[in-house]
């Protein structure tokens, strides 16, 4: 159920829905940034970051998304 997680605040500036999943317990919690593609029924994970680290800026998130798109084209 990937759509159960909220949309990340960083994605508002991008015009795309990127969800944010908090995974783990206590000091071992991670932020997982991902998007859902309903037409292909896939979930694309862009970045995983420890919860204590500074949050992603919209331009950083866009870089991860662009990098992922480039990898898909090569495959």
Q: Is the pTM of this model over 0.75?
A: yes
The helix or strand, by DSSP H or E, that contains position 66, with its residue range, turns out to be: helix 58-74
Say what the pLDDT of residue 73 is: 63
Beta strand pairing status for 19-23 and 30-37?
antiparallel
51 three-state secondary structure = coil
Question: How confident is the model over 10-54, as pLDDT tens digits?
Answer: 888 888 899 999 999 988 999 999 999 888 899 999 899 999 888
């Amino acid at each position: 159920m990937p759509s159960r997680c909220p949309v990340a605040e960083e994605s508002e500036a991008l015009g795309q829905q990127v969800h944010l999943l908090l995974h783990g317990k206590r000091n071992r919690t991670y932020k997982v940034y991902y998007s859902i593609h309903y037409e292909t029924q896939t979930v694309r994970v862009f970045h995983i970051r420890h919860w204590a680290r500074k949050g992603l800026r919209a331009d950083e998130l866009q870089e991860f998304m662009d990098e992922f798109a480039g990898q898909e084209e090569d495959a």
